[in-house]
Amino acid sequence: MNTKSTTLFLEGSLYFYWLIGLNLMFLSTNLILTLALIFLRLTPENSFYFLLGVIPTGPSISAMFACFNKISREKDISLFRDYLKFYKKTFKKSIKIWVISCVLVYIIILNINLLLDTTIIALLMPAYVILVAFIISITIAVFYLFSKADANSVVDIIKKSMYFSVKRSHISLCNVVIFLLWFFVIFIRPLLGIVIMPSIIIFLMSKNTEFVFTHKPMN
């Protein structure tokens, strides 16, 4: 094996180690959701417990974004120390955004469930779908900016996220699709969704969100 091949192999092994390590860190900060998925059935009666279980997921996503930002910037990371540092650093602001987003989506889902057998649901469903997509898109963009802009206020970050989520909705929509597919897998195949997929999914959302904020259309 020549020097170039050896270097590529070592770099690939290092990135693989980081991905596995970040998955383990994500799992460790989402034990409540994992236990809920193992011991509870996914029914409307248990929906509130799943809502509680998913609350720590927001800060976990935010911490992962920060980790990928550091890897991209410095080509290195101290896995466990940096993940926990970013988790603690962004916890308060990310959990506020996440809880608000989860509650809003939860209310929308409850409304859909209540109106499911009525004729008005056909009129309201497109608006509900757009609203949920908008909430998800903004939340992901906010978490991404938390890993980038310490000096900006949360209000400024939210405004910027809202603006670009609308202006470049054709790009940010990819994040919504990726996110919804991921959560669908989490609830039908918890092992795959929580243990194997997080680092890959969040890496894809990180790169796509970077494109949302940096894309300049050709004239």
Q: How confident is the model over 67-112, as pLDDT tens digits?
A: 999 998 888 898 889 999 999 999 999 999 999 999 999 899 888 8
Rounded Cα–Cα distance for residues 90 and 142 (Å) = 11
- pLDDT, greater one: 25 or 115: 25
Q: Under a CB-based contact definition with an 8 Å cutoff, are residues 22 and 67 in contact?
A: yes
Does pLDDT of 215 surpass 90?
no
Token pair belonging to 130 = 């757009």
Mean pLDDT of the chain: 88
- pLDDT, greater one: 48 or 102: 102
Q: Under a CB-based contact definition with an 8 Å cutoff, are residues 68 and 82 in contact?
A: no
Smallest Cα–Cα separation from 201: which of 36, 52, 64, 57? Answer: 64
Given this model, what pLDDT does residue 7 score? 66
**CB neighbour list of residue 84: distance below 8 Å, 6 or more residues apart:** 25, 63
Question: What are the two backbone dihedrals, phi and then psi, of residue 56, each rounded to the nearest 5 degrees?
Answer: -70, -10
Does pLDDT of 158 surpass 60?
yes
Does pLDDT of 58 surpass 90?
yes
**Which residues in 96-121 are b (16+ Cβ under 10 Å) and which e?**
ebbeebbeebeebeeeeeebeeeeee
Least trusted range by pLDDT, from 32-36, 46-50, 132-136, 180-184: 46-50
Given this model, what pLDDT does residue 190 score? 84
Given this model, what pLDDT does residue 9 score? 67
Neighbouring C-alpha atoms within 13 Å toward the C-beta of 26? 31
Given this model, what pLDDT does residue 82 score? 93
Token pair belonging to 156 = 């400024």
Which residue do the tokens 């248990």 mark? 46
Does pLDDT of 151 surpass 60?
no
Given this model, what pLDDT does residue 150 score? 61
Estimate the share of the chain in helix, then strand, then coil, as percent rounded to the nearest 5.
85, 0, 15
Rounded Cα–Cα distance for residues 55 and 50 (Å) = 9
Rounded Cα–Cα distance for residues 14 and 79 (Å) = 11
Given this model, what pLDDT does residue 29 score? 92
Q: Under a CB-based contact definition with an 8 Å cutoff, are residues 54 and 103 in contact?
A: no
Given this model, what pLDDT does residue 23 score? 93
- Sign, Cα dihedral of 46, 47, 49, 50: positive
Does pLDDT of 218 surpass 60?
no
Cβ atoms < 10 Å from Cβ of 73:
10
pLDDT tens, position by position, 3-47 = 766 666 667 788 888 899 999 999 999 988 888 888 888 777 787
Average pLDDT over residues 196-209: 94
Q: How confident is the model at residue 117 (pLDDT cuts 50, 70, 90)?
A: confident
Token pair belonging to 76 = 């290195």
Does pLDDT of 137 surpass 90?
yes
